[in-house]
Structure 1
Amino acid sequence: MAMAYKMATEGMNIKEECKRWFTEMKWKKVHRFVVYKIDERTRAVLVDKVGGPGEGYDELVAALPGDDCRYAVFDFDFVSVDNCQKSKIFFIAWSPAASRIRAKILYATSKQGLRRVLEGVHYEVQATERSEMGFDVIRERAQ
């Protein structure tokens, strides 16, 4: 297993666009979410979809395929119990049961490399089905 981990994480290239889109979402608030995918052929993490400022959590969930893994970051805006406007960034590791075993292993072993690049993530959610990353789960974690 150690050899498989080394092979999966060694050489994984995280494209500059991944950090750029995340930074724009975090600081400029021009995006609500960013979905990332791994291109196995080039061994690179790429931006798959970017959610505009008018898009919400439902659009993010719809952007995640039912049969393949993805990473996503979501900027969750909410009002706290003390009536303050707050924002928390969630990192979502999406690995549905219908995805290939190879993809699940590749995404699981490459996750930390992407997380290191995306500075400022507050919470992480790992989901294998949509109910594990429902809006109520996100809201509860942020409160």
Structure 2
Amino acid sequence: MASGVKVSPEAEATIAQLRSRALRCALFKINDDCSQIVTDKTYPKEDFGDGATGEDILDALKKELPEKEPRYALLDFSFVNEESHARESVVFVAWSPDSSQVKKKMLYAASKGYIQKAAGNVKIVQATDPAELDFKEVRSKCLK
């Protein structure tokens, strides 16, 4: 038996919405009975306006991440590469603050592969502190 919990159909639908660019960001959590990964919050494109940058999305995400609870997030991250071309990547954030309970951190770590698989080809960022979600750091991961 594999460890961790699987992605709910509702969360899979949210991932599809993000991939179709209907959403700019989505937060996911493991439900209260620890049986599946569910959608916690979504941010439609309209919440940010047409000129929203990857930095705007990260700023909004940092405000929503709980201080003592792990979460997963997917972002439609826009940035400019070294050749000054506009680019977009889907970024997966595994948020696991140091202040989280060890048991929760272990469950989120064990379940991470399920949501990454559901999300498909994504750039991965692991963060334990909001400072690790710096625009330049995330952009550098997208350029690799």
How does the TM-score come out when normalised to structure 2? Answer: 0.84
2:70 and 2:77 mapped to 1: Cα distance? 22
- Measured against aligned partners, the alpha-carbon deviations of 1:41-80 in whole angstroms (never above 9, x if no partner) come to 1511000011121332211111110010000111111222
Question: Do structure 1's residue 136 and structure 2's residue 136 form an aligned pair?
Answer: yes
Question: Do structure 1's residue 31 and structure 2's residue 35 form an aligned pair?
Answer: no
**Alpha-carbon contact 1:51-1:59 (below 8 Å) kept:** no
Consecutive unaligned residues of structure 2, counting only runs of 5 or more, are: 49-56
Q: Which has the higher contact order (CA 8 A, sep 6+)?
A: 2
Say how many residue pairs are matched: 134
The amino acid that maps onto 1:41 is D
How does the TM-score come out when normalised to structure 1? Answer: 0.85
Deviation at 1:17, TM superposition (A): 1.7
Identity of aligned residues (%): 28
1:1-143 mapped onto 2 (5 Å cutoff): 8-9=3-4, 12-27=5-20, 29-53=21-45, 54-55=47-48, 56-121=57-122, 123-143=123-143
Which position in structure 1 is the counterpart of 2:53? none
2:6 and 2:116 mapped to 1: Cα distance? 13
Which position in structure 2 is the counterpart of 1:3? none
Q: RMSD in angstroms over aligned alpha carbons?
A: 1.7
1:78 and 1:140 mapped to 2: Cα distance? 10
Q: Secondary structure at the match of 1:48?
A: strand
The structure-2 alpha-carbon separation of the partners of 1:77 and 1:101, relative to structure 1 and needing over 3 Å to count, comes to same
Q: 4+ residue stretches of structure 1 with deviation over 3 A? A: none
1:42 and 1:103 mapped to 2: Cα distance? 10
**Alpha-carbon contact 2:28-2:38 (below 8 Å) kept:** yes
Deviation at 1:40, TM superposition (A): 4.2
Consecutive unaligned residues of structure 1, counting only runs of 5 or more, are: 1-5
